[in-house]
Amino acid sequence: MAAQCVTKVELTVSCDNLLDKDIGSKSDPLCVLLMSTTDSRWYEVERTEKVQNCLCPKFAKKFVIDYYFEMVQKLKFGIYDIDNKTVDLSDDDFLGELECTLGQVVSSRKLTRPLVLKNKSPAGKGTITIAAEEIKDNRVANLEVEARKLDNKDFFGKSDPYLEFYKQTPTGWQLAHRTEVVKNNLNPTWRPFRIPLQSLCGGDLDKPIKAEFECINSKKKQKKKGYKNSGIVSVKQCQVVKEYTFLDYIMGGCQLNFTVAVDFTGSNGDPRSPQSLHYISPQGVNEYLSAIWSVGNVIQDYDSDKMFPAFGFGAQIPPTWQVSHEFPLNFKPTNPFCAGVEGIVEAYRVCLPQVRLYGPTNFSPIINHVACFAQQALQQSTASQYFVLLIITDGVITDMDDTRNAIVNASRLPMSIIIVGVGGADFTAMEFLDGDDGRLRSMTGEAAMRDIVQFVPFRQFKNAPKEALAKSVLAEVPGQLVEFCNVMKLGPPNTSPAPNPAGTI
């Protein structure tokens, strides 16, 4: 039997006195969390945001881990100075790491250790602190905040303000949330945001929040007579609500609809050649098949009929040999469904020798195809269906503008997009679509309602257990589903209406 998860643990990471690898500024650190498998191989779990120009970063992004009492769970926290937009960390400066166990972290509640370099020598005076908290509260605070008459800190233009919320802990104030930056504005209104009550105040509504409503610049106050403040921050609304969890939706009858799209463009190479990404080895595998198996095996459990549409794009197809960017792998336009993951794999194997690899690499047709079905599902008054599109590709998108428009449109629908990059291509453009570093915009400037794209390069998981790829690419789907349902105020199909607010300020 599989080990039972005792609880979920939220890890908050901060560092002090990091090595400075930049000339003319300070390092731009990021923390990556890796876990060890039973055979002592490391695989990446998640990353924090990058903190600009800072040697003592406090990372707002939390790591959430299933905690198993009966297992030794080995963790490795790696700190890197990020100076480019590539997903690979090998071309970024390594600032140090810490290896420990989750048991050590939770028993300490707050673990501070020196960072070490790869040769196990200390990384200067640098330290890392990991704080652990059990997650046991599904309440969130929905906040709307604005400020007025802030001081201007820029020589050219106006300040670019953001807001940080801290919560009080037995060991001091801890960063709970950082808003987005509002560019060039001394009277900013930040987008409405949510903070889990556990992160904000440990679930204790009587705890104070360290939010400076009157901004006081102590140096300015000393120098300037009659000084009042450097601006006012006001909370327009703070509403505490109970949120449905991902499992509330799944157990309440929400179905995940899984669609696969496979890249058949010419850059993959002749499938008959062992150098081709579509070459099926004597063991019956290639990277495309591995990605289908890995992701499909997890997601099929959430679809009751296990019938999955599967498509190809970028190939010339019989009988007319026209290029198609949206053809069923089974060549049945009116019935593109495959029975289970095995059916997808079989359809791919049969399709491969029947098409001619061609091009270009267009994503928008298949995204718009799935979006049509997601739009129909939106007519329901509850969250009955959610669509997950897996695109497996080897290269650079040629319809980037149309793809951006398609993703922004899909962000308003019950839909997530997973992109797995196979082979050794430069996937910088894929990172751009994965809106973790900023909100994706369409060509007309319209912002995505939410981040729905998760991209990972398959090469990162070559030495990882087969579960690792699925865990990485599917990690954001539960949160994306819940976020969508919250925004649209949709409850699970088989339950009472959405929870009432637990309190409003």
Supply the pLDDT for residue 438. Answer: 63
**What phi and psi, each to the nearest 5 degrees, are found at residue 316?**
-85, 130
Distances from the Cα of 104 to the Cαs of 13, 111, 156, 191, in angstroms? 15, 8, 49, 38
CA separation for the pair 331, 317 (Å, rounded): 9
Which tens digit of pLDDT belongs to each residue from 199-225? 888 888 888 777 767 888 888 888 888
Distances from the Cα of 191 to the Cαs of 146, 231, 234, in angstroms? 9, 19, 14
Distances from the Cα of 474 to the Cαs of 18, 32, 498, in angstroms? 32, 17, 25
Question: End-to-end alpha-carbon separation of the chain, Å?
Answer: 47
CA separation for the pair 158, 20 (Å, rounded): 29
Residues 6+ apart with CB under 8 A from 226: none
Amino acid at site 163: L
The SS3 call for residue 152 is coil
Mean pLDDT of the chain: 88
Task: For residue 168, list its beta bridge partners.
Answer: 173
Supply the pLDDT for residue 502. Answer: 42
Q: Is this model's pTM higher than 0.95 or not?
A: no
**Residues 254/383, Cβ–Cβ less than 8 Å:** yes
Supply the pLDDT for residue 171. Answer: 83
The SS3 call for residue 259 is strand
DSSP E strands, 314-447: 315-317, 322-324, 327-328, 337-339, 356-357, 385-393, 415-421
| Structural domains of the chain, ranges and CATH numbers in brackets | 7-135 (2.60.40.150), 139-242 (2.60.40), 256-488 (3.40.50.410)
Supply the pLDDT for residue 500. Answer: 41
Low-confidence ranges of the chain (pLDDT < 50): 1-4, 496-505
Which residue, 361, 379, 261, 269, is CA-closest to 310? 261
Which residue, 146, 22, 17, 130, is CA-closest to 76? 130
The β-bridge relationship of strands 307-313 and 337-339 is antiparallel
CA separation for the pair 150, 33 (Å, rounded): 37
The SS3 call for residue 485 is helix
Supply the pLDDT for residue 155. Answer: 83
Supply the pLDDT for residue 5. Answer: 57
Supply the pLDDT for residue 505. Answer: 39
**Residues 119/87, Cβ–Cβ less than 8 Å:** no
The SS3 call for residue 436 is helix
Token pair recorded at residue 178: 């950082």
